[in-house]
Amino acid sequence: MSNILERMQKDLYAGKVAEVEAATRQALDQGLGAQEILNKGLIGGMEVVGRDFKAGDLFIPEVLMCAKAMHSGLEVLRPLLAEAGAASMGKIVIGTVAGDLHDIGKNLVSMMLQGAGFEIIDLGADVKPERFVQAVRDESPDMIGMSAMLTTTMPSMKSTITALKEAGIRDKVKVIIGGAPVTSKFAQDIGADSYAPDAGAAVDTVRTLLA
């Protein structure tokens, strides 16, 4: 791996936004391709971040800074990747369910998944079932990710899956759920495909489901 990509990974891990953006531009100036920079620099760096987050060596504020640094490089590469028709690892629609305004955990999952090479359509918080259904119709994603931080909003996850079934599109997408009160058993009970207890686990689970 080139020195510039190694430095990019280190700066990303340290959450150095300006440095990662500068390294991305420098790597392009050196003749490296956008896809190589993405895979070996940005995604490679976020894989280390994800590993250390799962191990408890990094915490949410640090991971958010790492993700911000990753995004600074991604914004430089995005038009070049689009021009080249670069394929993503998969497309995921994600949102916090109806009645729930908490979005820190959802945002962290979004950033980690984007850092792993997935295309993310973030619907935000307080997302009603019909909006998830419309997003599946409009975006044709591979997966829906739903988050709930309140026990009182967990039933919205079941309502969304029911709405997908009624719309005849449940079999077109995988469904993963997460959030502080959510459990693996609850995921099974409502007919979700899987559950992730945290952002690091979400990346691994999504990769497995979409493999």
- By CB atoms closer than 10 A (0-12, 13-18, 19+), residue 193 is middle
Q: Tell me the C-alpha distance between 16 and 19, whole Å.
A: 5
Place of tokens 């099974």: 188
pLDDT at 105: 87
Q: Tell me the C-alpha distance between 27 and 29, whole Å.
A: 5
DSSP state of 197: S
Closest CA to 178 of 209, 157, 152: 157
Q: Tell me the C-alpha distance between 92 and 121, whole Å.
A: 6
Q: What percent of the chain has pLDDT over 70?
A: 99
pTM above 0.75?
Answer: yes
Q: Tell me the C-alpha distance between 18 and 76, whole Å.
A: 12
Q: Which two tokens stand for residue 68?
A: 């911000």
pLDDT at 137: 97
Closest CA to 147 of 171, 170, 126: 126
Q: What is the DSSP string of 112-135?
A: HHHHTT-EEEE--SSB-HHHHHHH
pLDDT at 123: 97
Q: Tell me the C-alpha distance between 200 and 138, whole Å.
A: 28
Q: What percent of the chain has pLDDT over 90?
A: 76
pLDDT at 201: 87
Domains of the chain: 3-84 (1.10.1240.10), 91-210 (3.40.50.280)
- Give me the count of residues in the chain: 211
| pLDDT, tens digit (0-9, with 9 covering 90-100), for 40-94 | 999 999 999 988 998 899 998 999 899 999 999 999 998 888 777 766 789 999 9
Q: Tell me the C-alpha distance between 105 and 147, whole Å.
A: 8
Predicted confidence (pLDDT) at residue 193 exceeds the cutoff of 90: yes
pLDDT at 87: 67
Predicted confidence (pLDDT) at residue 135 exceeds the cutoff of 80: yes
Range in 8-22, 109-123, 155-169, 172-186 with the lowest mean pLDDT: 109-123
CB atoms within 10 A of CB 182: 22
